[in-house]
Amino acid sequence: MDEIIDHPERGARTEDKEVVIISGSSGLVGFPLIERLAENYRVVGLDRLGPPYPPLQAECVNFDITDEKAIDAAMERIRYGYGSKIASVIHLAAYYSFNTKDSPGYDEINIKGTQKFLNQLQDFEVDQFIYASSNLIYKPTKPGRKINEDCPVEANWGYPESKIITEELIRENNNDIDTVFLRIAGVYDEEGHSIPIGQQIKRIYEKELVSHFYSGELNHGNVFVHLEDVLDAILKTVERRNKLPHEIAINIGEPSTPTYKELQNAIGKHIHGEEWNTYEMPKGIAKAGAWARDLVGDPFIKPWMIDRADDHYELDISRAREYLDWEPKHRVMDTLPAIIENLKRDPEAWYKENDLKYE
C-alpha cells in the first residue's frame, strides 16, 4: 500500500479525505481542477501517458478510454490504493475537432469509451458522476430567446451528436449513481485557449481577406465561459453532491452572448485600433470558397461549417444560480483586451499556446 503522509497544515489527515477521480486530467480544465480539488480531496487523474502530466497533488494513472483492459487496470490501481468508495467522478475525457464534421473518435472515445468507463464504475461505490457536456447539444435559438435545460436538443455535426448520445447512455447506466450533466459553453482564458476565438483573432491579426466576410447572420453568436468560472462550477458541484437531485442538467456559461459582429469589432479595435468591417456572404459563395481553399491547404473554415454559421446560443443559467449558487465572474468581451495583449507581447508564443501556425 502506498505510504500515506499526514500534513497537519493542510487540515484533514490525507487518509480521511474523500476520493475524487478526474478523467482527462491533463487537459485545459483537468490540470488546474486537480490543484483546486487537492486542498480537500484525494485526487486521482486518469489520462494517457505523456506530457502534460497532472500536478503533483494527484496520482496519474494511465488510462486509455478506448481499451477496456486498460480501464480495468486503472480502476484496479484505484481500488488498491484508495479503496472502492469514490465521492465524485468528473468525466472530462472527450474527443473534439473542427477538422471534420464526423470522426471515428466521437464514437470510439466519447460514446463507446464512456460506456466502457461506466461499466467499470458499477463495481465501485460512487456518490456522484459529473459529465462535461456541451451547450452545442441544444437546438439553436434566436437572439433574445434563452435556452434552459429542458429545451430541445439537436445535433448538426459529430461532436454535439456524440454528447447527446452519451448523455442518454449515462442515464441508462447510472441508476444508482447521482449524475450531473454540466452543459458547458466554449471555454477560454486570458491566453485564448478557445479554438473559435483564436482563429478569429488570427484572421484579423494577419489581415486575411476572409476576415472581412461571414457566411452567417452577424447578429448571431455563441456563448462562452472563462476557465476559472468552469473550475468554480465543478468545485461547487462536487461540494453540493449530497444536496443535488439524483439526476440534473445544469447550464454553465455566461448570461450574455456577444454577436459575431461585436467580437469582430472588438478584436479589430484592440489589434489595429479600428473597428473591423465585416460583410455577410451568401452561403453558396462561402461554401465554394471554403471548398477551394480546402483543396490547396488546411484552412480552419471547412465547407460543412457554413451550414451552422447562423447557429445562435444564449443560455439561461438560473438553474446554476439556484442549485450551485454559481454565476460567472468573467465576460469574454471584458477579457479580450488581455487575450490580445498577450498576443502582442509575444505573437510566436501565443500562436504556439493556441496551436496555431506562426509564419
Question: 19-23, 55-59, 154-158 — which is least confidently predicted?
Answer: 55-59
Continuous segment of H or E residues that includes residue 66: none
What is the grid cell recorded at 60?
Answer: 496519474
Q: How far apart are CA 290 and CA 231, in angstroms?
A: 36
Q: What cell does 165 get?
A: 448520445
Average pLDDT in the chain? 88
Confidence of residue 211 (pLDDT cuts 50, 70, 90): confident
SS3 42: strand
Lowest mean pLDDT among 6-15, 85-94, 301-310: 6-15
Tell me the range of 99-108, 181-190, 283-292 where mean pLDDT is highest.
181-190
* Mean pLDDT, rounded, for 57-76: 90
pLDDT for position 102: 84
C-alpha span between 197 and 24 (Å, rounded): 23
**Predicted local confidence at residue 306, as pLDDT:** 64
- Shortest CA distance to 33 belongs to which of 308, 263, 233? 233
* Domain ranges across the chain: 15-185+225-253+314-330
pLDDT 10s digits, 314-330: 999 999 999 999 999 99
- Model confidence at 96, in pLDDT bands (50, 70, 90)? confident
Asked if pLDDT for residue 267 goes beyond 80, the answer is yes
12: confidence class by pLDDT, cuts 50, 70, 90: very low
Check whether 177 has a pLDDT greater than 70. yes
43 DSSP β-pair partners: 20, 58
46-52 long-range Cβ contacts below 8 angstroms, 24+ apart: 46/21, 46/22, 46/74, 46/93, 47/23, 47/93, 51/26, 52/26
pLDDT of 280 over the 70 cut: yes
* pLDDT higher than threshold 50 for residue 2: no
- Considering only CA atoms, which of 228, 233, 223 is closest in space to residue 253? 223
Which grid coordinates are listed for 317? Answer: 443559467
Inter-residue contact 148 to 316 (CB < 8 Å):
yes
Element (H, E) at 139: none
pLDDT value of residue 210: 86
Query: What is d(CA 26, CA 73) in angstroms, rounded to the nearest whole number?
Result: 19
pLDDT confidence tier of residue 161, bands split at 50, 70 and 90: very high
State the average pLDDT over residues 82-95.
96
User: According to the model, what pLDDT value does residue 11 have?
Assistant: 43
280: β partners: 214
Q: Average of pLDDT values for 51-60? A: 68
The pLDDT value given to residue 7: 36
Closest by CA position to 91, among listed 134, 59, 51: 134
Query: For position 334, what pLDDT does the model report?
Result: 98
353: region left, alpha or beta (phi > 0 left; psi from -120 to 50 alpha):
alpha
Q: What is the pTM of this model?
A: 0.91
Q: What is the mean pLDDT of residues 92-116?
A: 90
Q: How far apart are CA 294 and CA 261, in angstroms?
A: 25
Domain 15-185+225-253+314-330 has CATH 3.40.50.720: yes
